[in-house]
Structure 1
Amino acid sequence: MSHSKPGFSLKKQFSRSKQIAGMTTTMAGGLRAAQRIGAFKNPPREKLPRYIQAFCRKMAGSFGIKVVEVEPVQQHHGLWVSNHVSWMDIPVVGTVSPAFFLSKAEIGEWPVFGKLAYAAGTVFIQRGSGDAGSVATQIADFLRKGFSVVFFPEATTTDGTKIKRIHGKLLQAAIDADVPVQAMVIAYVNKDGSLSKDLPYYGKLTMKQSLKKVLDTKNVTAYVLPLKAIDPKGLSKSELTDLLQKHMQEGLAELHARVLN
């Protein structure tokens, strides 16, 4: 007598396969668009944000995640930051922001993903002996050229209920380049108005387990609330860090008050 695996469901497997097919189609479309605009040779950074936003929206959609701006996200130049709940934050942030992502230089060497990251104008960071100061300098140079950058200052993911202690070393880039810090906060919300427990990728969860949870989740909306930009003029790095911490904590509380039941 044959026994099916515990938790195995044909309907579930079909749904996962459909989503993976959608994700593959989106990636193939992204590669074609990158080829068409010459992004593999020399990414045209001025044109890229709208292509990246369209690609990220489709990528989030292929996982069944709808991205909603609670307030319109203004496309300002600056150093962008967001709370960090899941790997899904990357397509969500990419959908609403004009900023380029940061990545370790070695990811640029990866097959397919490295090519896509390069074509998307990713800022590849050369890390020297783990010195955040040199990373901030590289970001500041990029910001001075008129291009925005986004990163997750908590440096780790959370369950989505709070903002962890933020690390302010990279905020020095905004001070040095004299650009605003533009924060946003994200909440993943179920159809019944409760905070999703399946989207957060944190703790002991493996990437494989997280991917399955996300693929099996239905009707989750990623709500994004942009916060008022912070002008770093006259602020020290520690003052800017403290201000941003308070700003993001209050912002997340406001977002939850507006979208949760």
Structure 2
Amino acid sequence: MNPTWNSGSDPDPIRIGALGWVRVILRGTALAVLVFGCLLLLLLIRLVEKPFFGLKRPLTPYITQFVCRAAFRILGMGFSTSGELMIEHGAVVANHSSWLDIFALNARKRVYFVSKSEVASWPGIGWLARATGTVFIERNPARAREQTQLFEQRLLAGHKLLFFPEGTSTDGFRILPFKTTLFAAFFSDELRNIAHIQPVNVIYHAPRGEPARFYGWWGDMEFAEHLLKTLAVRRPGSVELVYHPAVRVADFANRKALAAHCEGVVRACHDARITDQATRIR
């Protein structure tokens, strides 16, 4: 299990006024109805979808995508993307700043997340993850071959996988070194020549008057508190996705070279956008 990243300073204090609590109730109720209402619909459709299509999910991913797009409308957050979506078999890798990353990346592209096995047992989040087809893995070298086979099954079924190579979330103002472990699965004999990897940047723009790291979620920060401040803010900020060109796994000598390439692309874009944001603030 990867350690969580800590900033070295305390999180920004959360202050919610009377009107903020009204927004929490209104937005929170709408979000709950959306998420759990559509989850029920998804499970019902999956009862028919699974026997006929197995791993393939021709219908339910559209429900997940609708929920994630609608969630940003309820939150009042701006949402924008640039770059072309990968059409080849393979995976998407992105930097990780917040639980909102899952909504943002699902809103743009129908993907299946790769997550540590512990998440499957988390109340609420674990249920949603299992229902939407998340691939759960154990960070155990003894099960590496088994997990590679799982990746192969999902990719050959046409699934686009998505994982966060940093291994943990940050405040959104840095890119941590990309861990190479999960990249190894794509170098199997079955996948090496057909798999592609697409790097993506997830960039948050804080609400006006709020700290620049407002949407960052890291360390020991509680999910409930972060959700409350996201629901309560008067003038929400926005999230931006930047999709970079996909690269073919077979063009790289090994997982370290592939991970280094993806990290370099994401880091260069991140540094340019953060510098641009700082310039605008001045």
Length, aligned pairs only: 255
Q: Give the conservation status (yes or no) of the 8 Å contact 2:206–2:215.
A: no
Select the residue among 93, 99, 112 that pairs with 1:87: 99
Counterpart of 1:48 in structure 2 is 60
Alignment-derived partner of residue 223 in structure 2: 207
Question: Shift of residue 26 of structure 1?
Answer: 0.8
Aligned residue runs from structure 1 range 249-260, under 5 A: 249-256=267-274
Counterpart of 2:159?
Answer: 147
Deviates more, 1:153-162 or 1:33-42: 33-42
The residue number in structure 2 matching 1:225 is: 242
SS of alignment partner, residue 188 of structure 1: strand
Deviations 1:94-135 (A, max 9, x none): 11122111234565566665443333222233x374657343
Q: In structure 2, the residue corresponding to 1:49 is in which secondary structure?
A: helix
Residue 70 (structure 1) aligns with: 82
| SS, match of residue 38 in structure 1 | helix
1:3 alignment counterpart: none
Q: Judging changes above 3 Å, is the alpha-carbon distance between structure 1 residues 144 and 52 closer, same or farther for their aligned structure 2 residues?
A: same
Across the aligned residues of Structure 1 and Structure 2, the Cα RMSD in angstroms comes to 3.0
Q: Which has the higher contact order (CA 8 A, sep 6+)?
A: 2
Closer/same/farther in 2, CA of residues 7 and 38 from structure 1, 3 Å limit? closer
* Structure 1 match to 2:203: 187
- Greater mean alpha carbon deviation, residues 75-84 or residues 99-108: 99-108
Which residue is equivalent to 1:238? 256
Q: TM-score, normalised by structure 2?
A: 0.77
Of residues 211, 214, 220 in structure 2, which corresponds to 1:198? 214
Relative to structure 1, the CA distance from residue 27 to residue 17 in structure 2 (aligned partners, 3 Å threshold; closer, same or farther) is same
Assess if the C-alpha contact under 8 Å between 1:81 and 1:183 holds in 2. Answer: yes
Contact 1:187 1:195 in 2 (8 A): no
Mapping for residues 27-38 of structure 1, pairs under 5 Å: 27-38=35-46
Are the structure 2 counterparts of residues 58 and 81 from structure 1 closer, same or farther at C-alpha, using a change threshold of 3 Å?
Answer: same
Q: Which amino acid aligns with 1:173?
A: A
Contact 1:193 1:259 in 2 (8 A): no
Aligned-pair identity (%): 22
Are the aligned partners of 2:203 and 2:240 in contact in 1 as well (CA < 8 Å)?
A: yes
Query: Given the superposition, is the C-alpha separation of residues 239 and 203 from structure 1 closer, same or farther in structure 2, using an over 3 Å criterion?
Result: same
Partner letter of residue 238 of structure 1? K
Decide whether the 8 Å contact of 2:94 with 2:165 is kept in 1: yes
Change (3 A) 1:192 1:112: closer
Unaligned 5+ segments in structure 2 are: 1-13
Instruction: Give 1:207 deviation, angstroms.
Output: 2.2
Contact 2:79/2:239 (8 A) holds in 1: yes
Q: Is this contact kept in 2: 1:187–1:222, CA < 8 A? A: yes
Structure 1 range deviating more: 149-158 or 166-175: 166-175
Q: Which amino acid aligns with 1:52?
A: T
Work out the CA distance in 2 between the residues paired with 1:86 and 1:242.
23
- Match of 1:186, SS? strand
- SS of match in other structure, 2:29: helix
Between the aligned partners of 1:13 and 1:245, the Cα distance in structure 2 is 40
Report the CA distance shift for 1:243/1:195 in structure 2 as closer, same or farther (over 3 A).
farther
